[in-house]
Amino acid sequence: MLFENQLPFFIVMQLFNMTKNSSDSLDNLVGMFVSFFDPIPPGKLLQAPDENPREDDIEHLLGLLHYCCCSEFHSMVPQRNTVGRKGESLKSAKELQEAGIKFKKIEGRNMFNIRFVNRTMEIPTLKIEDDTECFFRNLIAYEQYYPDTSWHHFTAYHKFMDCLVNTSKDVEILIHCGIIRSFLGENEVVATMLNKLGNNIIISDLGYEEVYNKVNEHCRGKWNTQFATLRRDYFNTPWAFISFLAAVVLLLLTVLQTIFSIHPVGKYN
């Protein structure tokens, strides 16, 4: 998978042609490759594409891996897009949760297929293991090598996840929702890995413009902003909320006592 170690695909095909049976074709090679790499991607990525690439369109095995991961998502989005307004980003998972946004894992969906529906962020599960960093680094490097391509899906996906995760608390929230499955141990390790992946990369032209805009529009809402501030400053722990309820009950009892003191029951009977 190392980007700098890739052999040109015509060499791979030559070796394949020297050893194949008479009935084997490029489709067989793609199928063998998909089966071999199936355990590595951090999600359900490697399904045989509807249309296998032509031999001339494949530069090397890493490029073939990129095609197999992204071909389904490529058909879902416009050819050119933007991450959002210039300089715009997303709040962290904790901040979005405080603003009333829920997180929901989605089964059986391509990992890139992220949606925001009815104040709910729908995100397929991301499995994080020892090989995940290597997987993302090489595919992001491959996309960065071709700055004019519109297939910058891994760069855009990482940008999105990097926005959601700033601290171990954000990782904890996403793990609790089933969006992240971590096999690395401490949540801080996951947060550090996701944050460092974005060092020295150019943000692609292809992103999640609709998701960014809808989420940020929700967060800019007056009541949503006030609710987030109230929850962050006064209800950041369960005990704070319980104390608030106790204070409200005490206040109501005091008001009722005052009313009955002024107008005792049965006074005018």
The per-residue pLDDT for range 91-128, each reduced to its tens digit, is: 999 999 988 899 999 887 778 889 999 889 999 999 99
pLDDT value, residue 189: 93
Please indicate, yes or no, if residue 118 is contained in any of the structural domains: yes
Same domain as 168, residue 55 = no
pLDDT value, residue 47: 53
Q: Which residues contact 179 (CB under 8 A, 6 or more apart)?
A: 103, 105, 123, 124, 125, 126
Same domain as 250, residue 213 = no
Pairwise CA distance, residues 8 & 132, whole Å: 24
Same domain as 99, residue 182 = yes
Please indicate, yes or no, if residue 88 is contained in any of the structural domains: no
Pairwise CA distance, residues 255 & 250, whole Å: 9
Please indicate, yes or no, if residue 263 is contained in any of the structural domains: yes
Same domain as 144, residue 221 = yes
Residues of the domain holding 257: 245-269
Same domain as 179, residue 57 = no
Q: Which pTM value belongs to this model?
A: 0.77
Split into its structural domains, the chain has a count of 3
User: How far is C-alpha 24 from the chain's CA centre?
Assistant: 38
Q: Which of 12, 42, 74 is the last residue of a domain?
A: 74
Please indicate, yes or no, if residue 116 is contained in any of the structural domains: yes
Residue with the bigger pLDDT between 64 and 222: it is 64
pLDDT value, residue 231: 62
Same domain as 66, residue 22 = yes
Q: Three-state SS for 116?
A: strand
Please indicate, yes or no, if residue 50 is contained in any of the structural domains: yes
Residue with the bigger pLDDT between 237 and 10: it is 10
Same domain as 210, residue 138 = yes
Share of the chain above pLDDT 70, in %: 77
Mean pLDDT of the chain: 79
Please indicate, yes or no, if residue 65 is contained in any of the structural domains: yes
Beta strands in the chain (DSSP E): 102-106, 115-117, 120-124, 126-128, 180-182
Same domain as 217, residue 109 = yes
Same domain as 56, residue 109 = no
Residue with the bigger pLDDT between 1 and 88: it is 1
Can you tell me the mean pLDDT for 241-249?
A: 76
Can you tell me the mean pLDDT for 153-164?
A: 90
pLDDT at 227 over 70: no
Same domain as 143, residue 216 = yes
Residue 237 binned pLDDT confidence (cut-offs 50, 70, 90)? low
Same domain as 139, residue 103 = yes
Please indicate, yes or no, if residue 240 is contained in any of the structural domains: no
CA distances from 62 to 58, 114, 182, 189, 245 (A): 9, 24, 24, 26, 58
Residue with the bigger pLDDT between 255 and 180: it is 180
Same domain as 158, residue 203 = yes
Dihedrals φ, ψ of 205, to 5°? -85, -10
Please indicate, yes or no, if residue 9 is contained in any of the structural domains: yes
